[in-house]
Amino acid sequence: MRGVWARTDRWSLLVVGVALLLALPVLTVFVTALQPAGAVWRHLADTVLTDYVGNSVLLMLGVGAGALLIGVPAAWLTSLHEFPGRRWLEWALLLPMAIPAYIIAYTYTGLLDFAGPVQTLLRAGFHWTRQDYGFPEIRSLPGAVVMLALVLYPYVYLLARAAFLDQSVAVLEVSRTLGAGPWRRFYAVSLPMARPALIAGVSLVQMEALADYGTVQYFGVGTFTTGIFRVWYGMNDSTAAAQLAALLLLFVFALLVFERWSRRRARFHHAGNRQYRPARLSFAGRWGWLATVACLVPLLFGFLIPAGQLTVWAWRTAPHVVDGRFLALLANSLLLALGAALLILLLALLLGYGQRLRPRPLVRWAVRSAGLGYAAPGTVVAIGVMLPFAALDRSVDAWARQWFGVSTGLLLSGTLAALLFAYCARFLPVALHSVEAGLSRIRPSMDDAARALGSTPRGVLWRVHVPMLRGSLLTAVLLVFVDVLKELPATLILRPFNFNTLAVRAYELASDERLADSAPFALAIVLAGIGPVILLSRAIGRARPGYDAVP
């Protein structure tokens, strides 16, 4: 008879092994970056590095400020007040999340450039010619800030909204008895109490802004991500690329630490008792409509206009774009995303369950390190996958040539395996988060009951947890599916030759200034992206007073 310990070690080993494998890309980037700086790096440092750092920091600060300016008032209005349309604005304000930043950038470029409808209309309306007016150039750093803020503000909105709803009624009521009007209650009470949540939201937004590649590349703004591409492809220096990537990662980790820290502080700000909630304050008449308009603006610019423009373009170009090749590409993309999502789900289940089975420090640390990839921008993960895979290919090739006189060429790099691995490293934490949340709601006595009835640990997973987790697992698959579908930079770097996805094709066509032709591809991505938004909006609906959080 084998005892429980032999079995345990197998589980821990498997979990730790898988987790470390998934942490490999990020670790690779750091290890490679530790190599002495080469000529390219010195050249970078002398020339463009300051630009990269400067632009990245400006982008980060700008997008953070923009997301705050849009997200906080919207959250304050919809969570504490009543006005026409509040019910549907509450979730509709999340819709911009469905649009990847690079797609909104293409759309607005098409709308606002010289030949676009806006300028054309202005010229026709005022009988201007090119020399008669100045028009702000959208393809610039400020343009990129606006684009990113428009699609990223929902992070701030979501967290701010939760914070406002959670705030102690008593504190707000006391401030009313002390004579504070709505405006003062907002900036002197609500806002300071929500500060940890706002910092967390802004940190998330800034992480996304740093990770963006498509927008800044299209707008020609030199940042870390575009720099990594240039060094990798233009200068062919993997070490310098890894060094840039490591520097970017340091920025991201700083944000991550900041975010964690602010969340920890949130506990002290949380003012318990939410037994009852005051009725929402009603805005009367004109003020109500003003609130409606205020909430409509971000929705309009963040979703309705770009989605509308995409639809118009797609309507026009679909007849010649949507053909057999389009459908093949669509199937390609969907299958890849689905395959990646299922694979990631399996790994997340393995890690989540392994952690539950043996909550040892070693296992916990390994699983945490597997989560590093989420903080890492796609560009960084791609570099971290490319380097070890290429090294492995080279050594296998050398070995085969030496012993068998044949060249194996590239076995792994440039294959779907490399791409899938990158997706796993990047998006595993999304699935793991869902799985862990679901598992934590299953009481440990369920596991014990099943074990006492003769199930092995693996049996418990399949017979008890998976069926009970169905909802969480579906959520995880959907979230990862859409993330993979939208993913651009890692796919660009790692995709096999002549292998295309919706995101890549939309990017290629837009880069060729064939914006209208790219619309059907972009629209397909946006439609898929609405799925997670619906999930989130349902969560919002459930969190309404009077509804219990679903167990």
**Among 149, 428, 464, 503, contact with another protein (rule: CB under 8 A):** 464
Least distance between another protein and beta carbon 443 (Å)? 6
Least distance between another protein and beta carbon 467 (Å)? 4
Least distance between another protein and beta carbon 362 (Å)? 16
DSSP structural state of residue 279: P
d(CA 99, CA 81): 28
Other Cβ atoms closer than 10 A to 405: 7
277: helix, strand or coil = coil
**Among 129, 272, 443, 546, contact with another protein (rule: CB under 8 A):** 443
Nearer to another protein, 36 or 454 (CB): 454
Under a CB-based contact definition with an 8 Å cutoff, are residues 168 and 273 in contact?
yes
Nearer to another protein, 179 or 454 (CB): 454
Nearer to another protein, 39 or 453 (CB): 453
Nearer to another protein, 136 or 359 (CB): 359
Q: Is residue 359 a contact point for another protein (CB under 8 A)?
A: no
Nearer to another protein, 95 or 464 (CB): 464
Residue 139 buriedness (CB in 10 A; 0-12 / 13-18 / 19+):
middle
Least distance between another protein and beta carbon 455 (Å)? 6
519: helix, strand or coil = helix
HEC profile of 123-189: HHHHCCCHHHCCCCCCCCHHHHHHHHHHHHHHHHHHHHHHHHHHCCHHHHHHHHHCCCCHHHHHHHH
**Among 455, 496, 511, 535, contact with another protein (rule: CB under 8 A):** 455
Binding footprint of another protein, residue count (CB under 8 A): 23
**Among 281, 453, 527, 550, contact with another protein (rule: CB under 8 A):** 453
Q: Is residue 549 a contact point for another protein (CB under 8 A)?
A: no
Least distance between another protein and beta carbon 437 (Å)? 17
d(CA 42, CA 58): 23
Torsion 186-257-216-520 (CA) sign: negative
* Residue in this structure with the two tokens 């500060």, named with its chain if needed: 195
Bridge partners, 81 (sequence order): 281
- Tally of residues, the chain: 551
Nearer to another protein, 181 or 361 (CB): 361
Which token pair is 153? 């503000």
Least distance between another protein and beta carbon 550 (Å)? 13
Least distance between another protein and beta carbon 19 (Å)? 24
Nearer to another protein, 455 or 511 (CB): 455
Tell me the per-residue interface mask from 2 to 41 with another protein, x by CB under 8 A, - otherwise. -xxx-x----------------------------------
Least distance between another protein and beta carbon 5 (Å)? 7
At residue 480's C-alpha, the angle toward residues 166 and 203, to 5°, is 45
* Residue in this structure with the two tokens 């010289």, named with its chain if needed: 114
The one-letter amino acid code at 522 reads A
**Among 88, 264, 456, 541, contact with another protein (rule: CB under 8 A):** 456
| Chain centroid, CA 250 distance in Å | 18
**Among 13, 37, 446, 550, contact with another protein (rule: CB under 8 A):** 446
Least Cα distance to 465 among 442, 481, 492, 434 occurs for 442
**Distances, alpha carbon 407 to alpha carbons 246, 390, 401, 503, in Å:** 33, 14, 5, 34
**Among 322, 463, 534, 536, contact with another protein (rule: CB under 8 A):** 463
Q: Is residue 1 a contact point for another protein (CB under 8 A)?
A: yes
**Among 125, 136, 361, 454, contact with another protein (rule: CB under 8 A):** 454
Alpha-helical regions (H) of 3-48: 4-33, 39-46
Tell me the angle at which helices 361-370 and 4-33 cross, rounded to the nearest 10 degrees. Answer: 40
d(CA 212, CA 223): 9
- Of 101-109, 316-324, 448-456, 521-529, the segment contacting another protein by CB under 8 A is 448-456
Q: Is residue 451 a contact point for another protein (CB under 8 A)?
A: yes
Tell me the per-residue interface mask from 388 to 427 with another protein, x by CB under 8 A, - otherwise. ----------------------------------------
Other Cβ atoms closer than 10 A to 307: 22
- Of 51-59, 143-151, 205-213, 466-474, the segment contacting another protein by CB under 8 A is 466-474
Least distance between another protein and beta carbon 476 (Å)? 18
- Of 104-112, 318-326, 452-460, 472-480, the segment contacting another protein by CB under 8 A is 452-460
Under a CB-based contact definition with an 8 Å cutoff, are residues 437 and 463 in contact?
no
Q: Which of residues 120-149 bind another protein (CB under 8 A)?
A: none
Least distance between another protein and beta carbon 474 (Å)? 14
* Residue in this structure with the two tokens 């920025």, named with its chain if needed: 251
Q: Is residue 548 a contact point for another protein (CB under 8 A)?
A: no
Under a CB-based contact definition with an 8 Å cutoff, are residues 59 and 148 in contact?
yes
Least distance between another protein and beta carbon 519 (Å)? 44
**Among 271, 468, 534, 539, contact with another protein (rule: CB under 8 A):** 468
Cα R_g (the chain), whole angstroms? 25
The one-letter amino acid code at 314 reads A
Residues that bind another protein (CB under 8 A): 1, 3-5, 7, 443, 445-446, 448-456, 459, 463-464, 467-468, 470
